[in-house]
Structure 1
């Protein structure tokens, strides 16, 4: 259904998005069936980047559809800040991040430490640390390293792992959690 301006978004959908008091951000994976029961009409992602000073507060899913313009915004936000390169961030990763945030009932946005990484950035980080994978899912826009001040690494990892929808790495020494849409697995302490 089109609105009066031909934008393809219903008035009811927009009102629901803006009037919602609790954002229902859920993945659509078969493994997350229990979490889907609480699914709603919108999904939201909130992040900030200490590296760039940018903030993102975006509703990227409305009434069963991703919003292409907002996904483009997310791609830009999660770019490799070292060389300003972007890629399409996998929507499964976005859904995992959003759903985990909702499960934790966190008010603060994620601090994005790393989203997409160019091959050059990944090689540089790999030379500095043995914890950087040669074929990291960051290279394909399928992973994010995140932090919340109000939640422990354990709490964040537990929320992401509860979705049973991808990889979850705990990096307690560096105070962040890795979330990706790859095979279901966990690691770290």
Structure 2
């Protein structure tokens, strides 16, 4: 069994290496976003930086219809609550929305991740400082991210997120970021 797992990992690593330099199209896995699946390719990739931790991520997390569990765990660790170091599994639907939006923007730079998972303690602290933080935020269950791109406006990122039709998209122009989550389809902000 161990040898089998090892050979599967080697195969996946070889596939990752072969595809790492290719242009990648990503798409959400929702029935209402089926248009993004057509022609999306066989791999999905996410690229982010974190100004809070100084970390960078560029990883392929999905190949030929299968999520790579190691890559999804790496993404979850990257998107941790940097204030508490708390980690929550990030919902793959959220990762898909982020990747599909990034693909629509045709941007070469990675997202700047401002907030991924938030512990209830962190969320309560932020809520006490801002009325824009939801009491039952999807950040606390690993289903949301707040992002920006230096080469794209908040409006452009917002429109790309809305075009995916896979969840909630909030525009926070005065704070220069866009919220994306895999909850019910809705949009807000200006």
Q: What range describes the TM-score normalised by the shorter chain of this pair?
A: over 0.9
Q: For residues 81-100 of structure 1, what are the structure 2 equivalents within 5 Å?
A: 81-100=82-101
* Runs (5+) with no aligned partner, structure 2: none
Aligned to 1:47: 48
Please tell me whether the aligned partners of residues 13 and 63 of structure 1 are also in contact (alpha carbons under 8 angstroms).
no
Give distance in 2, aligned partners of 1:111 and 1:146.
6
1:24 is matched with 25
* Aligned counterparts of 1:28 and 1:187: Cα–Cα separation in 2: 23
Quote how far apart the aligned CAs of 1:16 are: 5.0
Any idea what SS the aligned residue of 1:35 has?
helix
Aligned to 2:165: 164
Task: Measure, in 2, the Cα distance between the counterparts of 1:67 and 1:116.
Answer: 20
- The answer to which of 26-35 and 123-132 deviates more is 26-35
Q: 1:122: which partner in 2?
A: 123
3-state SS of paired residue (1:6): helix
CA offsets per residue over residues 50-107 of structure 1, 9 Å max, x none? 0000000000011111111111110110000001000000000000000000000001
Tell me the distance in 2 between the aligned counterparts of 1:153 and 1:10: 36
Is the contact made by 1:48 and 1:54 (CA closer than 8 Å) also made in structure 2?
yes
Count of residue pairs the alignment pairs up: 186
Deviation at 1:18, TM superposition (A): 3.2
TM-score by length of 1: 0.93
Q: Which runs of 5+ in 1 are unaligned?
A: none
